[in-house]
Structure 1
């Protein structure tokens, strides 16, 4: 079985809890869909932990931003992570691919196959966040994924089966259950739960199955770390599952 993690955001206690849970479930392979270290938690320790594991990992928008933006102009989460990382960490992040055809039946990306910023399985409307409909997905996934496509970025877990039999899934976020963002306009992604999220895949091809899982962990420890670093905008979501 394969455990699929995404959007860890330097939350090492959540990552360790998901790993232990996955091992107990019998997982022997692990995949990481990006946004690995950015945030006011434990970026250096998380990078060390993951580099030692050497799992197949792709980059997310925060890896791109952290590596390419002027430190004086980047967001606070990326700037904090950059300040904590050393050359080896940055070289590891820079070498991560943008997407990955892990197996013939399993394609992985961070947000969608074309870019690392636009949600694949969710849509932002002026008054709500909704699930994407099948007809909205065809042009985004054309040419990708014979059986299954995995993505992250939205932090919201979702699994859907298309009419042609292909499966699309988002494991949710290991490290951050809620956030606000201004693209395409201000919106909130909120789970209303403090649990860490990941997915387990079993079987292959037409027999591939996807299970979305939630794991309780010491989220207060992570919230306190965010608070120590002056980030109530992280502490509140970690404690409540809501932005505020």
Structure 2
């Protein structure tokens, strides 16, 4: 593995067993001349190609952290798993699960860059958004977001989990960055209430961060790819509802 460059790197998250999207993102990262990548978790849970995704990640070694679905894959009994975790679990070998077990929950990439999956204290909490009692996704205030990281003295704070690409500049100058989702542009969740997250694009998404004398320059890259094989795998795993989200970024 090459040394991680904390001044210019790609940020990926929420692959959810979509190996074709991951391959497209890796190719785009290479085309941009970017040599360092950090992975913010939720790698394998999904009704598609968990084993393929695991092998692709293991062959492209990079700093990575464990997301909530990764944790559930190694902490829950098979009979207690939700469907997309169970489909993934059945494809994985023990060395894949051991890799997930060894991943940290948070990671300092440098004195200036901190990474987590949800928030610094929770892998299941949305950092820059919240869900209303009616199930609407609402942007949190800058003060609320800053309170989640009151003790973390890093100029760049990385998170995933919501699948929504977003940057927020905090009152003290720190930047919170969510790269969006590589492989799952829409989903349904029941916590804290039923809600739908959808990006409106089928493109695989990731972020690029570069430190300059004026601060962090960031950009989101939406990479088109052919999702047809992933759609067929999802259907074969009895998840035909994934067709719309993979093909369009909307939840049908």
Give the TM-score range, shorter chain: over 0.9
Q: What is the CA-CA distance between 1:204 and the residue it aligns to?
A: 5.4
2:9 corresponds in structure 1 to 2
Whether the 8 Å CA contact 1:147–1:205 is kept in 2: the answer is no
Sort the Cα spacing of 1:46 and 1:121 in 2 relative to 1 into closer, same or farther, 3 A: same
1:111 corresponds in structure 2 to 118
Could you give the per-residue CA deviations for residues 127-156 of structure 1, whole angstroms, max 9, x where no partner exists?
A: 521222102112211112420101000001
Q: What is the CA-CA distance between 1:47 and the residue it aligns to?
A: 0.5
Q: What is the CA-CA distance between 1:124 and the residue it aligns to?
A: 0.8
Q: How does 1:45-124 map to 2 (within 5 A)?
A: 45-124=52-131
Whether the 8 Å CA contact 1:123–1:131 is kept in 2: the answer is yes
Q: What is the CA-CA distance between 1:227 and the residue it aligns to?
A: 1.3
1:179 corresponds in structure 2 to 187
TM-score, length basis structure 2: 0.93
Question: Take 1:205 and 1:70, find their aligned partners in 2: how far apart are those partners?
Answer: 49
1:210 corresponds in structure 2 to 218
Q: How does 1:219-238 map to 2 (within 5 A)?
A: 219-238=227-246
Deviating more after overlay: 197-206 vs 33-42: 197-206
Whether the 8 Å CA contact 2:163–2:186 is kept in 1: the answer is yes
SS of 1:224's equivalent? helix
SS of 1:230's equivalent? coil
> What residue ranges of structure 2 are gaps of 5+ in the alignment?
1-7
> What residue ranges of structure 1 are gaps of 5+ in the alignment?
none
SS of 1:212's equivalent? strand
1:243 corresponds in structure 2 to 251
Whether the 8 Å CA contact 2:135–2:193 is kept in 1: the answer is no
Q: What is the CA-CA distance between 1:240 and the residue it aligns to?
A: 1.9
CA RMSD of superposed structures (Å): 1.2
Whether the 8 Å CA contact 2:135–2:196 is kept in 1: the answer is no
SS of 2:96's equivalent? helix
Question: Take 1:85 and 1:111, find their aligned partners in 2: how far apart are those partners?
Answer: 24
Question: Take 1:63 and 1:220, find their aligned partners in 2: how far apart are those partners?
Answer: 25
Q: What is the CA-CA distance between 1:206 and the residue it aligns to?
A: 5.4
Q: What is the CA-CA distance between 1:220 and the residue it aligns to?
A: 2.2
Deviating more after overlay: 126-135 vs 96-105: 126-135
Could you give the per-residue CA deviations for residues 78-125 of structure 1, whole angstroms, max 9, x where no partner exists?
A: 111111111111110100000101111110000000010010011111
Q: State the 4+ residue runs in structure 1 displaced beyond 6 angstroms.
A: none
Count of aligned pairs: 244
Sort the Cα spacing of 1:139 and 1:163 in 2 relative to 1 into closer, same or farther, 3 A: closer
Sort the Cα spacing of 1:185 and 1:207 in 2 relative to 1 into closer, same or farther, 3 A: same
Deviating more after overlay: 12-21 vs 135-144: 135-144
